[in-house]
Amino acid sequence: MMNSLSHADLITIAEEYGTPVYVYHAEKIKEQYRKLQDAFSNSNTVFFYACKALTNVNILRYIKNLGANVDCSSINEVRLALHAGFPPSRILYTSNGIDFNEIRDAKELGVYINIDSLSNLEKFGNAFGYSYPVGIRLRPNILAGGNIKISTGHDKSKFGIPVEQIEQILKLVNKYKLRISDLHIHTGSEIKDVDVFLKGIEVLFDIAPHFENLEFIDLGGGFKVASMAGEQETDILLLAEKVSRAFASHPYKKGRNLQVWFEPGKFLVSAAGNFIAKVNVMKETATADFVSVNSGFNHLIRPMFYDAYHHIENISNPDGPLKNYSVVGNICETDTFAWDRPLNQVREGDLLVFRNAGAYGFEMSSNFNSRFKPAEVIVLEGRAHLIRRRDQFDDLLRNQLEVI
Ligand SMILES: *Cc1c(COP(=O)(O)O)cnc(C)c1O
């Protein structure tokens, strides 16, 4: 297999491991990470992979070996990252409405922590005071991201402590002598406009002088990837240039060497992922030609959940005439992957590949309709390896207790 996966490679994998199947191309992850590293090579910048996008332990290890750090959204992700071999010093737990016990556990595991509420900040102060550095997740009141469902930094968002509550934050910092080592924002996903990050820097620089132990400025993730023909991903070179200019020119900077953190999820793993499903049934109707595949939103929920676009190709008939189809799943709910989409003529038994399926694909899958979660395969240096077997019937009963 070559460095880029061909239709023939994908068909071979589908034949060997069955469908539906997620196929991750490792070198594509490396390519994306290199873009970030190269663009920011002259600056003090560190990337934390936002692993909620895809947590297969092989992916975590691959990304660890590339040199990235990891950002976690739950204590279990922290434990998975440790299991994958990340040392605590390379793990960040950016919390969101969690029970304080998870923060206590994270502290015991020795990882970085971002706290997102006054309530948990106070509990942290009570328990640990100045003995352990901690970050604050702020809500900068910036509207950004591909659509409102994936925007997290605006003024009605649940995420972070609103910046206008700075006085209350400072009261807690003073009361408990908190060592605030980083200020974090994450404004949303699929942010194309790099100026959003610049606005974030302005917000953080405004309040940064209040925190004398500050070492890190964490600008979150949300870099856009190209998912449709003609689309562009976030211009990382431009971002690097603008961020470094903002840091060089701002008066607050004087004498300090703040490290910049980013938390890319989608940017690293989206394009590496291909999801392959097989066509079960063709159904012609007066309003649409339906293609029913052996999958549904139980395996890839992004189109139904937040109107995500996945490019679809018929890899079994790539030269067939183009026709418009509605691609749907086989579960008992409306689970449309694409409406009125031109595809090379589709026949029952054909294999369709859904591109950009690496991020929030398998990770959001479920057993709805008591169907099995798909298998996962990684292609590494030209060789395919199974990294998660497809569910089996026993998996559906595994945690059930039969009392009746
Ligand atoms: C989800 C998330 C990210 C990653 O977002 P992407 O759009 O996948 O880059 C980064 N930081 C935090 C705190 C997140 O919750």
For 204-236, what is each residue's pLDDT tens digit?
999 999 999 999 999 999 999 999 989 999 999
Residue 152 CA, closest ligand 1 atom number = 15
Residue 72 is predicted with a pLDDT of: 98
- For ligand 1, atom 10, the nearest C-alpha belongs to 221
- The residue-averaged pLDDT of 96-106 equals 97
Res 26 pLDDT > 50 = yes
221 lines ligand 1 (CB under 6 A): yes
pLDDT above 70 coverage of the chain, percent = 98
DSSP 33-49: HHHHHHHTTTS-EEEEE
Q: Are 327 and 352 in contact (CB under 8 A)?
A: yes
Residue 237 is predicted with a pLDDT of: 97
Res 251 pLDDT > 90 = no
Closest CA to 71 of 131, 135, 122, 149: 135
DSSP 79-115: HHHHHTT--GGGEEEE-SS--HHHHHHHHHHT-EEEE
Residue 223 CA, closest ligand 1 atom number = 9
User: Which residues are paired to 136 by β-bridges?
Assistant: 115, 183
Identify whether 51 is a catalytic site residue: no
Residue 149 is predicted with a pLDDT of: 82
What is the CATH number that goes with domain 26-268? Answer: 3.20.20.10
145 lines ligand 1 (CB under 6 A): no
Pick the CATH number of 273-357+374-391 from 3.30.70.260, 2.40.37.10, 3.30.310.50, 1.20.1440.230: 2.40.37.10
Q: Which two tokens stand for residue 57?
A: 């332990």
Residue 254: pLDDT band with limits 50, 70, 90: low
Least confident of 184-193, 221-230, 248-257, 295-304: 248-257
CA of 12 to the centre of ligand 1 (A): 33
CATH 3.20.20.10 positions along the chain are 26-268
267 lines ligand 1 (CB under 6 A): yes
pLDDT above 90 coverage of the chain, percent = 90
Using only C-alpha atoms, what is the Rg of the chain? 23
DSSP state of 32: H
Residue 2 is predicted with a pLDDT of: 43
Over the stretch 266-292, which tens digit does the pLDDT of each residue have? 999 999 999 999 999 999 999 999 999
Average pLDDT, whole number, for the chain?
Answer: 95
Q: Which of 2, 332, 403, 404 is catalytic?
A: 332
Res 1 pLDDT > 60 = no
Over the stretch 50-61, which tens digit does the pLDDT of each residue have? 999 999 999 999
Give the span between the Cα atoms of 215 and 371, in whole angstroms: 48
52 lines ligand 1 (CB under 6 A): yes
Closest CA to 266 of 320, 324, 222, 219: 222
Residue 380 is predicted with a pLDDT of: 97
Over the stretch 148-194, which tens digit does the pLDDT of each residue have? 888 888 888 899 999 999 999 999 999 999 999 999 999 888 989 99
